[in-house]
Amino acid sequence: MKVLIANRGEIAIRVMRTCREMGLTTVAVYSDCDRGAPHVGYADEAYRLGPNEAVASYLRIEGLIDVARMAGADAVHPGYGFLAENPDFARACAEAGLIFIGPPADVIALMGSKTAARQAAIRAGVPVVPGTEAALGLDVTDEAIARMADEVVGYPLLVKAVAGGGGKGMRAVPSPRELPSAIRAARSEAGSAFGNSAIYLERQLERPRHIEIQLLGDRHGTVLSFTERECSIQRRHQKVVEESPSVAVSLALRAEMAACAAAVARTVGYTSAGTIEFLLDAGGRFYFLEMNTRLQVEHPITEMVTGVDLVEWQIRIARGERLTLDPARLLTPRGHAIECRVYAEDPDSGFLPSPGLVTGLRTPSGPGVRDDGGVAPGYAVPVYYDSLISKLVVWGEDRPRAIARMARALSEYEVLGVKTTIPFFQWLLRQPEFHEGRFDTTYLDRLLIERGDRSFAEIGEPAEEVAVVAVALHAYLRAAAGVTVAGRTGSRGAWRQAALGEGLRTS
């Protein structure tokens, strides 16, 4: 079986690794600026898609189908982002005789509409956040929407795009006065991002948690739920840290949420990997939010606490195999896992993208550490795509040990040539609310406002200084005992250079 991965960067490499373990041949695709990207070199074969712009390369359905035919591929894995939740792409693959490693096109289309997904949840008997059930297109006036806001939803509320995700096309409305401007802004952003300016209204819960349930469904009617993921650490509605399990979810609540997630999936005939997202309020009540009909960025933490390779099962399900996993095992997490999304962004400049040439790289390793990276020294992070360069994942026997391991891993992680969010994560892991699990979806935005404009880069220095002092002290004590310690007498700069030296050059 030959699999074309219709994606790039770290997720392309992650999918290819499982394919290689399964003995499958992999086909990479690339735009001009990605010609020398690590995912291209990792694949068995690679083909040019087109120019740098995503619309002319990674988003071009016809071009991807042509490459699949040219390469003699049997199947296509979409990864996440780009065309992963595009029903037209899934349909085009099927029409071309290619196995689409994901759910059917009609299910993607159904659950891609947030209003249709809400209706599916209601049919499944799953609670939803109060809101409007129909899409509000351009033919619905602001006056009509205002009446719905007053009579059906109530304030505060959210104006949300029917299509897409990632916080795009979403505006918070604390009172009726802000509603008209929020409608205009949400429609405009949704139209630009998704080609669909339809919106709907949803009650804004006060400081909820964002909890999600991973699913697998096969073509024989079996749907299995996994233990939850905690995704409440968000900046402007974008997840930045995820963990599993959640400190806020009891065994009974986990079982109830898992059953509701499976009920939604069965209602729509879902197959492959997918995720049901819930909001959890302070009183322990949860509400269906939406469904992601693809592999999630944060899927590795589920893999770490369950031992299940989700990509492998996506492929096996696509080949028509039955799920043989033990349901009880999937709902009984082993230990605790945390993921930090490492972006090529400058946290000291409002998290602006930081494209450029990666001149040096030192990635963490050791027990319980997994780095799903997509860059290498000599590779230029482009301006054209999402700036995620790595998912740093750790596992520990419990949450405190996982946090300590993540702190250690972050202290080992260095990327030279571009700014990254590593100093931000080092700062975040020192916050008492994070250690105590006292956070919600608004926590990080509030914390950043309180923090002001101090540099995150200051956070990493003390740990490095301590390491250098420790090395010097160790050398002194060894020398005093008559033991010569070689290679430990240089400056901090020499220490860093050694850590990023010859043995780490991969291109």
- Residue 118: active-site member: no
Give the other-Cβ count within 10 Å of 5's Cβ: 26
Tokens of residue 136, six digits = 């509000």
- The mean pLDDT value for 431-447 works out to 97
445-461 average pLDDT score: 81
* pLDDT score of 112 more than 60: yes
- Measured in degrees and rounded to the nearest 5, phi and psi for residue 184 equal -60, -45
Spatial distance between the Cα atoms of 94 and 105, rounded to a whole number of angstroms: 9
Confidence of residue 133 (pLDDT cuts 50, 70, 90): confident
pLDDT at 490: 38
Mean pLDDT of 28-51: 98
Per-residue pLDDT for 200 more than 60? yes
pLDDT at 484 over 70: no
Domain 206-334 in this protein, CATH class:
alpha beta
Q: Which residues of 106-124 are buried (b: 16+ CB within 10 A; e: fewer)?
A: ebbbbbbbbbbbbbbbeeb
Q: The tokens 């571009």 sit on which residue?
A: 418
* Rounded CA separation 257/226 (Å): 10
Distance (Å, rounded) from C-alpha 278 to C-alpha 263?
14
- Residue 451: pLDDT above 50? yes
3-state secondary structure of 223: strand
Report helix, strand or coil for 396: strand
Mean per-residue pLDDT, 198-218:
96
Helix (H) or strand (E) holding 217: strand 209-217
Q: What is the pLDDT of residue 192?
A: 87
Residue 473 has pLDDT above 50, yes or no: no
Q: Is the peptide bond before 245 cis (omega within 30 degrees of 0)?
A: yes
**What confidence category does residue 195 fall into, taking pLDDT thresholds of 50, 70 and 90?**
confident
What are 48-90's pLDDT values in tens digits?
Answer: 999 999 999 999 999 999 999 999 999 999 999 999 999 999 9
Degrees, nearest 5: CA angle 5-8-10: 105
Residues 172/236, Cβ–Cβ less than 8 Å = no
DSSP line for 263-285: HHHHHHT--EEEEEEEEE-TTS-
Task: Read off the pLDDT of each residue in 238-244 and give the average, rounded to a whole number.
Answer: 97
What are the structural domain ranges in the chain? Answer: 2-101, 130-203, 206-334, 335-460, 461-504
Q: What's the whole-number mean pLDDT along residues 26-55?
A: 98
Tell me: pLDDT of 503 over 60: no
What are the start-end ranges of the E strands in 451-503? none
Q: Which pLDDT belongs to residue 409?
A: 98
**Average pLDDT for residues 285-296, to the nearest whole number?**
96
Say which CATH superfamily domain 130-203 falls into.
ATP-grasp fold, A domain (3.30.1490.20)
Q: What pLDDT is stored for residue 134 in this prediction? A: 87
User: Is the confidence at residue 464, as pLDDT, over 90?
Assistant: no
- Residues 6 or more apart whose CB falls under 8 angstroms from that of 81 comprise 7, 11, 386
Q: DSSP assignment, residue 152? A: I
Identify each DSSP E strand in 84-175 by its residue range.
99-100, 157-161, 170-173
Contact between 252 and 239 under an 8 Å Cβ cutoff? The reply is: no
Q: Is the pLDDT of residue 105 over 80?
A: yes
Q: Are 242 and 167 in contact (CB under 8 A)?
A: no
Cβ count near 214 (within 10 Å): 29
Q: Say how far apart CA 161 and CA 195 lie, in whole Å.
A: 11
**What secondary structure does DSSP assign to 73-103, as a single string?**
-SEEE--SSTTTT-HHHHHHHHHTTPEESSS
Please answer whether residues 186 and 161 qualify as being in contact, where contact means their C-beta atoms are separated by less than 8 angstroms. Answer: yes
Average pLDDT in the chain: 91
Whether 206-334 and 335-460 share one fold: the answer is yes
Q: How many other CB atoms are there within 10 angstroms of residue 157's CB atom?
A: 27
pLDDT above 80 (res 487):
no
The answer to whether the bond into 462 is cis (omega within 30° of 0) is no
Question: 335-460 architecture in CATH?
Answer: 2-Layer Sandwich (3.30)
Which of 79 and 464 is assigned the larger pLDDT? 79
The confidence score (pLDDT) of residue 478 equals 54
pLDDT at residue 485 greater than cutoff 50: no
Closest CA to 244 of 265, 258, 224: 258
Give the bridge partners for 395, in sequence order: 337
Q: Which residue of the set 187, 229, 294, 341 is catalytic?
A: 294
User: Tokens 């050398």 belong to which residue?
Assistant: 475
The CATH number corresponding to 2-101 among 3.40.50.1970, 3.40.50.20, 3.10.20.10, 1.10.510.10 equals 3.40.50.20
Give the mean pLDDT of 140-146.
Answer: 95
**pLDDT level of residue 469 (50, 70, 90 thresholds):** very low
Mean pLDDT of 156-161: 95
Give me the pLDDT at residue 189, please: 93
